[in-house]
Amino acid sequence: MSKVLVVYCSLSGNTKAAAEAIAAGAKGAGAQVTLKTGTEAQPQDLLECDAVALGSYDAFSYMGGGLKDFLDRAFYPTQGQVADKPYAAFVTHGGGGKAGQSIESLAKTFKLKKIAPAVLITGKPEGQAITDLKELGAKLAAAAAK
């Protein structure tokens, strides 16, 4: 079974809800899903997965500290071992959303392969946003299975 890792950080629950919707979409598409916060996730999680979703709230137009902590800790232990691994970014924000660019910029440094545009959500994900996030999870599951 292909493995999808969802790593996120969330202060007030919006990004957590987004991460859970991605996880549900990936599970529904047949993947085995690991859902962790940035502070829980370990470099090994990134090495072991077949595709990864990286999510954060927008914090001053950058990703939140929890996701940055994970990426900082994971960089050297995974260097050269995650090139072309499929990934997608997701962000909840208060009207900005530039944090998506910071995630995509670091993903490039890891040489991960972007499989879909970042999903940007204003506030708490509901309605169409949940549908979009579930679809992103399904896309990650499909990419993980290749």
Ligand X SMILES: Cc1cc2nc3c(=O)[nH]c(=O)nc-3n(C[C@H](O)[C@H](O)[C@H](O)COP(=O)(O)O)c2cc1C
Contact footprint for ligand X (CB under 6 A): 10-16, 57-61, 92-97, 123
Among the listed residues 92, 8, 95, the one whose alpha carbon sits nearest the alpha carbon of residue 53: 8
- What is the C-alpha separation between 65 and 85, in angstroms, rounded? 23
Quick one: tokens of 27? 């599970």
In the block, tokens 């999680």 appear at 45
Q: Which is nearer to ligand X, 88 or 91 (CB)?
A: 91
Give me the least distance between CB of 139 and ligand X, in Å please: 22
- What is the C-alpha separation between 59 and 110, in angstroms, rounded? 22
Q: Which is nearer to ligand X, 16 or 139 (CB)?
A: 16
Give me the least distance between CB of 16 and ligand X, in Å please: 6
Q: What is the DSSP letter of 77?
A: H
Q: Which is nearer to ligand X, 80 or 95 (CB)?
A: 95
- What is the C-alpha separation between 3 and 26, in angstroms, rounded? 9
Q: Which is nearer to ligand X, 39 or 81 (CB)?
A: 39
Give me the least distance between CB of 116 and ligand X, in Å please: 20
Give me the least distance between CB of 64 and ligand X, in Å please: 7
